[in-house]
Chain A
Amino acid sequence: MSVNPLENGHYFADNPLRPLELERGERLLYRLTEFGRILWEVGIDVGPRKMLELAETLNYIDVTNKEDFYNTLKCSLLARHEQEVIFDQMFLYYWYMRDRQNKKAENPRGAAKRDERQMRLPPSERKRLAEHMNANEQQRKDLRSEMRQSERPRRAHEHIDDEDDEDDANPQGTAYSAIEMLRKKDFESFTWEEVQEAKKLMAEMRWNLGMRPTHRKAPSRNGSYPDMRRIVRRNLKYGAEILELTWRKTKRKPRPLVIICDISGSMSLYSRLLLHFIHTISNGLMNVEAFVFGTRLTRITRQLKRRDVDDAVRDVSKSVQDWSGGTRIGDAIHYFNQKWSRRVLGRGAVVLVISDGWDRGEAGVLEVEMDRLQHSCHRLIWLNPLLGSPDYRPLTIGMKTALPYIDNFLPAHNLDSLINLGNLLATIDDSRPLRSTAARRKAAAAWTNSGVK
């Protein structure tokens, strides 16, 4: 449906379907609640309070005017531009199409039954809806089977290796060293059990991000701004003599963190664990925005808000269309710069790009976009899983192009590297890293020549 307000009118005029007659009174109220419930099911936040207010609001308009009815519902129930399309679809579905196939059932019990049935969408609708929510069923299945396949043989394989150790596997005695081993082991060679263990360890990690000065002042003993309101109050007792001074100082707050993670084919061995990592870090920090990309960029911040990591990762995979596809880093960052940077990079954000730098797009695009990205954030950190291997050199065109615009280049191949990242994040201060052309060239050259130091 068009988001253009002018065209919404046409959408009623041109609609081939004859709209249902609206009933007034209780019946309408009932249908409204049902509609609210449907909206809630597709993820539009419609609480009872909103529904009550809507019922009140409808008194002011002529509910038989379909366009006004639609506009009123929309401005009352919707609170986000992103959800307009889905709202329009649900509106069309519920108020125009839903009852057409069920005209016969008339007795109240039947009606109740019918309504219950209708609360679930018919298969065709459900599919359309699913497609709409970016959930490509087939791709999800592919992903699932792919994961199973990649896990199973490895599990069988590792099992044989592990058999010798099993006798002296004393859970208490070896726990510490086992964790030590796990922390150093490359994600790539994790067994299923190790993945579970790693998930637990990640969930226990505590995150800290450097603070930024805000423009707000808070009372303090040793600030540098006089707190006039309190000074006057305190010194009243001395007459008009000011004998005691009180101060305010700049309040500090954690910086926002923006994660842009590559989930293309070349990253597939890492992407699931990295998603777990992104989930823990977004729950551990105040202000985290997360995006994933392969050929296109998808925002996954909302999905990651779910407390349970498996639910969250499932939601993410539902909404991402290009799992394990090709990579176009330049295009993804271009899209980010255009659509999102203004919305999420204010307030001294730290940006974390996670990618192996295999890029099939144009290097020119990537260079321009990396430059812009670096200019719009406080610190640009690039995590590369391949950097963990001792003989890795950033020689792919994508990585080489991006390297001069990165403030910190870090590995992300095992738990230890993530802990190192945590330490780095905690120490980010107000000073900006050196970003002159000469410094960039030098740093990039150092990486290309010597690899891991």
Chain B
Amino acid sequence: MEQEQQVSNFDTIENVQRAMFAQSYIADRSLATTVFLALKRRKPLLLEGEPGVGKTEIAKVLAAALDTKLIRLQCYEGIDISTAVYEWNYTRQMLHIRLMEAEGIKRQEELKEIFGPDFLMKRPLLQAIDEENAKTPVLLIDELDRSDEEFEAYLLELLSDFQITIPEIGTIKAKEPPVVIITSNRTREIHDALRRRCLYYWIDFPTLEKEYSIVLARMPGVPEKLAKQVCYFVRELRSADLYKAPGVAETLDWISSLLALNQLDLVEGPVRDTLGALLKYQDDVLKVGGSDLFKVVQKARGAS
């Protein structure tokens, strides 16, 4: 009954937008439409975009808004079934066999028992489709580009049927497919076959106005003047020729740093000292912190 209630909250695109806003996530209508369709059609949602624009955050926000569990699978090269899907608890199995031997139990029964659910360690993907879940969870497959082709191929199979076969136990199938969010930073191209199964959305850097409202939503109590100046300054940086342009995460980080230094206005000195919160490459820091810094700071101050 309660679940019915929840789902009805996401009945229109506006409601999705509103529910995400309630979790301090500012979503454009286009993003809200995509999320709405992903929920309605239970299709995986593939999110790409520069680092720090809030790809991972969407999954967290959705889980909170749906009031359900977030299951996160962080990908890395070489990730395999034993870390992503399931693993047997070998130590327990060994001990159990000894125990049974001492008690004189026959082999056939042993076999059945030690490859049973009690000895199974469920990893994120299996957790996500587990029949025992009270509520359909949100499954976040984070930074899929870091994994390798083998894992991607496995995922392909999982995402089309939402079932996993464990030879010793049988097939486990989700009662209802989980909400799947996949993110990628494009350090490797995701294969077309996987793309085809997903809804796709590219998250861009926010506009000045949008970033401003993100800052206000995320950091209630931040002085509006500082927020405006910071957003303007960051926008200027993004149009500069940098190796790594700062994302929204960096903007928020920088504001906290400035607030920790009791700054209510952008001033060149503290800006220079805290550039490390915004820029992550020495070349970029040198470029921005050069002679033009004063000018940009003045411009940002003027803009507010």
Contact = CB atoms under 8 A, between A and B. Distances in A.
21 contacts: A3-B202, A6-B207, A60-B36, A71-B30, A72-B33, A75-B37, A76-B37, A76-B199, A78-B200, A79-B195, A79-B198, A214-B148, A215-B148, A216-B77, A216-B150, A231-B90, A232-B93, A240-B94, A338-B242, A343-B187, A368-B283
Contacts of B93: 232
A3 B205 CA distance: 10
Contacts of A343: 186-189
Interface of B: 13, 28-31, 33-34, 36-37, 40-41, 43, 46, 48, 76-78, 80, 82, 87-88, 90, 93-95, 97-98, 101, 110-111, 148, 150, 185-189, 192, 195-196, 198-204, 206-207, 209-210, 241-243, 283
A49 interface: yes
B28 A6 contact: yes
B189 A79 contact: no
A9 interface: yes
B188 A346 contact: yes
A232 B90 contact: yes
Contacts of A74: 30
Contacts of A214: 77-78, 148
Contacts of B31: 5
B36 to A, nearest CB: 8
B88 A236 contact: no
A171 interface: no
B281 to A, nearest CB: 10
Contact of A84 (B95, B97, B111, B202): B202
A5 B35 CA distance: 14
Nearest to A240: B97
B97 A229 contact: no
Closest 5 CB pairs of A and B: A215-B78, A79-B195, A71-B33, A240-B97, A75-B34
B86 to A, nearest CB: 10
A217 B43 CA distance: 31
Contacts of B77: 214-216, 347
A115 B204 CA distance: 36
B30 A8 contact: yes
A236 B76 CA distance: 33
Given A5-B30, A214-B148, A72 B37 contact: yes
Given A60-B41, A72-B33, 4 more contacts: A74-B30, A75-B37, A75-B200, A346-B187
Contacts of B46: 79
A228 interface: yes
A81 interface: yes
Contacts of A236: 97, 110-111
Contacts, number: 119
Interface residues of A, number: 46
Contacts of A71: 29-30, 33-34
Nearest to B11: A60
A50 interface: yes
Given A214-B78, A217-B78, A342-B187, A337 B33 contact: no
Contacts of B13: 61, 68
Contacts of A79: 46, 192, 195-196, 198, 200
A432 B36 CA distance: 49
A284 B189 CA distance: 19
A428 B155 CA distance: 32
Contact of B29 (A67, A215, A239, A337): A67
A80 interface: yes
Given A3-B204, A71-B29, A71-B34, A45 B40 contact: no
A71 B35 CA distance: 11
Given A75-B200, A76-B199, A346-B188, A338 B243 contact: yes
Nearest to A7: B207
B76 A215 contact: yes
A7 B209 CA distance: 12
A19 B18 CA distance: 29
B148 A239 contact: no
A148 to B, nearest CB: 37
B82 A229 contact: yes
A3 B204 CA distance: 8
A59 B12 CA distance: 13
Contacts of A342: 185-187
Interface string A308-346: 000000000000000000000000000001100011001
Nearest to A78: B200
Given A6-B207, A240-B94, A75 B188 contact: no
A214 B147 CA distance: 11
Contact of B33 (A68, A81, A84, A338): A68
B22 to A, nearest CB: 20
A81 B48 contact: yes
A337 B77 CA distance: 23
Contacts of A216: 77-78, 80, 148, 150
A1 B31 CA distance: 18
B132 to A, nearest CB: 24
Given A61-B37, A337-B243, A342-B187, A5 B204 contact: yes
Given A60-B41, A75-B201, A236-B111, A49 B196 contact: yes
A4 B94 CA distance: 58
B106 to A, nearest CB: 12
A343 B146 CA distance: 11
A18 to B, nearest CB: 22
A290 to B, nearest CB: 14
A47 B196 CA distance: 9
Interface in A202-220: 214-217
Given A5-B30, A68-B33, A78-B200, A228 B90 contact: yes
A366 to B, nearest CB: 15
A5 B28 contact: yes
A56 interface: yes
A266 B113 CA distance: 74
Contacts of A389: none
Given A56-B41, A71-B30, A80 B78 contact: no
Contacts of B97: 236, 239-240
A228 B88 CA distance: 9
Contacts of A8: 30
Contacts of A9: 29
B165 to A, nearest CB: 15
Q: Which of A49, A72, A217 has the largest number of chain B CB atoms within 10 A? A: A72
A3 B206 CA distance: 11
Contact of A232 (B34, B43, B88): B88
B33 A61 contact: yes
A56 B31 CA distance: 19
B292 to A, nearest CB: 18
A24 to B, nearest CB: 19
